[in-house]
Structure 1
Amino acid sequence: MKKILWSGLAFVIISWIGNYLYFESKQIQQPIFLTHYYEEIYYEDLQLTFFYLTNKKDPVDVQYVEIDGMEIYPMSNQGFTIWHENVPQVQYEQAFRHQYLKSVTIQFPFTEMAFINEQKQAWSFSSMDVYFNDQTMVTTDIGEVVIQPSIQGNDILQTQSSGGSSNGQSFTTMTAEQALTITDITLPFENVADEIEMKLDNHPVKITPQDRKNATEIVDPLQENWQGTSRDRVNKDLFPLDLAENDSVRLTTRINPERRSYFEFGIYLNGITVDGKPFKSAALIIDRPYLKQGDINEIIEERQESP
């Protein structure tokens, strides 16, 4: 009888140790920031949101970050705190088996960022020092962030309508304020080129001032089948593309649904006006992935193995 009892007790202890070791093996050594591709035009009170993984058993919040020697603080507690039975609840974007996906929105100090407009030169960074509320700090890659100076006169192509869907497809319809020629379409980051498919309606449509007031779409571009649409894939053979005043073009994009990075930037339609002035007008892309447990497993494996 005692032998059975001791055997059962040993089994319980071994199982407990095994479960504990398995649980510990699934913990990340430190918070992991995901990959972001952000490009913004600088303005007062500019805010950017970054996403990171933290263990469920000991979730941490960001106290502040340091970029190029500049301390930047989050919005105060993201604006609110959720309480349940007098206990503050963990705020997160998604919950996984062993980790939370959390976010932090930081606000750039206006006085310290004024140099961007003064020097008329972009400021970029790809890493930052992050200080957490448990007194730990990590220096982490965050992707690529570019903050551009405010430049007037790049609204030659005016956005008339835009939209997006949960399947990663979006469109932007733009109208020429004057006669112009589009010479090419570019992305601000090389690493996103394989993640975005682009099509352009290269048969300019005349938009009258009354059409602009009505601003209605007869056909919803998001309901069109991507493979079946008559628009042409963006390539060098499409250009140059001439537009008369009030002509309109539509850029349709489809983002890889399997990607794991965060997008917030412009796709640039570049060209020259009829009077010889260069321009670049942006069709904005804002897209956040919905991650699955398999994605999280791969991210952790990749990031914890990297030096």
Structure 2
Amino acid sequence: MNGKVFLIGILIVIACWIGNIVYYVNQQLDKPIFFEHYYDIVQSDHTDVTLYYVTNKHNPTMINSIEVNGINFTPTSYFPHNESHNQPEQQFQHHTIMKVMIHIPKAIFDNQKNEEGIWAFSEAKVFPEIGDPFTVNVGNIVVIEEISLHDDLYETKTFLGERWESQFIAKESMKITNIVSAKNGLEKDLYIALGSNDIDFEGTHNEPNWFSHELKEKWEHIDRTPFHDNLLPLELSEEDRFTMYAQLNPNKKVFVRKYFRISGISASGRPFHSYIHFDPVRPEFTDQELKRLIREES
């Protein structure tokens, strides 16, 4: 009798062991899954693009190079002292989120940009250290030619979780005629508003339908008007201030770098511009959110 019980115990242990192995194997990815990236990047001498992807935790895929429009880019490193360019960002039971950064030289951008000074791409070919290359959708990445004009606005930035705010102070009397950003498909998930003690904005506090009750409470103390073109032009006296607010839909788990260009004319008749970037906090994923993403991509 004791022998039978012992044998049954051994068989149960073996069955559990085999089951764990089967489960582990089923959780492994054949190749990495890349996240959606919505980037507006102003071209400069140091234009870097960081891409995030999910790979296996215990046997992660390292990236040798990335090809865009037939141009091959070797990953660069965020870190000094020759540390690896592949660094874990967030780890889970079977998977890990990693990043890889590529540098776009100005000469390549100048050769790829269109007549409007823009180079946009959504696909990339990935060359892993081990295995065959594969093509991925990386979202919508827009690189924009920098415009060399005078900057007549001071700027201070504040980051508050998903919400971002940037205050501008006029160096002299001026008229702001345009506030623009590249169209990259994120417009419905990004709430933009203006506020000021020096300027009277006409408008209502109409929030998008994804504004939760918790978000409304966080914004309740802010006197603001949702941005629209009818607010322009803005007439500013010297030292007048206004604040630009941005809120990314917290349910939109994507990686974002959004640029805005503020343009206008100073009192002396000189054109000017300011570039600002909205860089929200990198999204954190729960285990269930990551599993759902993997199911959708499988």
| TM-score by shorter chain over 0.5 | yes
For residues 134 and 246 of structure 1, the distance between their equivalents in structure 2, rounded to whole angstroms, comes to 58
Inter-CA distance 159–298: structure 2 relative to 1 (3 Å threshold) = farther
Q: Partners in 1 of 2:196 and 2:177 — Cα distance? A: 12
- 1:140 aligned to 2:133? no
Cα distance, 1:131 vs structure 2: 0.7
Cα distance change, pair 292–153 in 1 and its aligned pair in 2 (3 A): same
Identity of aligned residues (%): 25
From 259, 263, 270, give the equivalent of 2:252: 259
Q: Is the 8 A contact 1:122 1:149 kept in 2?
A: yes
Task: Give distance in 2, aligned partners of 1:51 and 1:298.
Answer: 17
Q: Deviations over 1:253-301 (max 9, x none)?
A: 2233333111112134456667888876433111221222222112212
- Find out whether 1:197 has 2:191 as its counterpart: yes
Residue equivalent to 2:207: none
Matched, 1:296 2:290: yes
> Which residue is 2:210 aligned to?
none
What corresponds to 1:44 in structure 2?
45
Partner of residue 211, structure 1: none
Secondary structure of the corresponding residue to residue 114 of structure 1: helix
CA gap 1:198/1:113 in 2 versus in 1, 3 angstroms: closer
Give the direction of change, closer, same or farther, for the CA distance of 1:78–1:52 in structure 2 (3 Å limit): farther
Q: Could you tell me how far apart the structure 2 residues matched to 1:137 and 1:234 are?
A: 43
Please report how far the alpha carbon of residue 179 of structure 1 lies from its aligned counterpart in structure 2 after TM superposition: 4.8
Structure 2 CA distance for partners of 1:291 and 1:154, relative to 1, 3 Å: farther
User: CA deviation digits over 1:8-50, x for unaligned, max 9?
Assistant: 2322222122212222222223101111111112122421211
2:240 is the alignment partner of 1:247: yes
Give the alignment of 1:1-307 within 5 angstroms: 1=1, 2-75=3-76, 78-80=79-81, 91-115=87-111, 121-153=117-149, 155-156=151-152, 158-165=153-160, 167-176=161-170, 179-182=173-176, 185-204=179-198, 225-236=218-229, 238-269=231-262, 281-287=274-280, 288-304=282-298
Structure 2: runs of 5 or more not aligned: 200-216
Residues 71 and 280 of structure 1: CA distance in aligned 2, closer, same or farther (over 3 Å): same
State the Cα deviation string for residues 175-207 of structure 1 (Å, max 9, x = none): 3456544456444235322332222115436xx
CA separation of 1:141/1:78 partners in 2, compared to 1, >3 Å: closer, same or farther?
A: farther
Tell me the distance in 2 between the aligned counterparts of 1:142 and 1:277.
40
Aligned partners of 1:31 and 1:52 also within 8 Å: yes
CA-CA distance at 1:115 after TM superposition = 2.4
Distance, in Å, in 2 between the alignment partners of 1:144 and 1:78 is: 26
Q: C-alpha separation between the residues in 2 aligned to 1:269 and 1:150?
A: 13
TM score, norm. by length of structure 2: 0.80
RMSD value over aligned CA atoms? Answer: 3.1
Paired with 2:68 and 2:113, the residues of 1 have a C-alpha distance of 18
Whether the 8 Å contact between 1:42 and 1:116 is mirrored in structure 2 is no
Partners of 2:113 and 2:248 lie apart in 1 by 32
Q: Distance in 2 between matches of 1:186 and 1:136?
A: 41
CA apart distance, 1:96? 0.9
Please tell me whether the aligned partners of residues 202 and 238 of structure 1 are also in contact (alpha carbons under 8 angstroms): no
The CA distance in 2 between the partners of 1:159 and 1:145, in whole Å, is 28
CA distance in 1, matches of 2:180, 2:221: 24
Give distance in 2, aligned partners of 1:246 and 1:116: 41
Shift of 1:234: 2.3
- Listed one character per residue, the Cα deviations across residues 75-111 of structure 1 (whole Å, up to 9, x for unaligned) are 15854567xxxxx9x8311111111111111112444
Q: String of CA shifts for 1:151-173, please: whole Å, max 9, x gaps.
A: 112635x24211212x2222111
Check 1:6–1:242 CA distance in 2 against 1; reply closer, same or farther (3 A cut).
same
Task: Return the alpha-carbon distance in structure 1 between the equivalents of residues 263 and 168 of structure 2.
Answer: 13
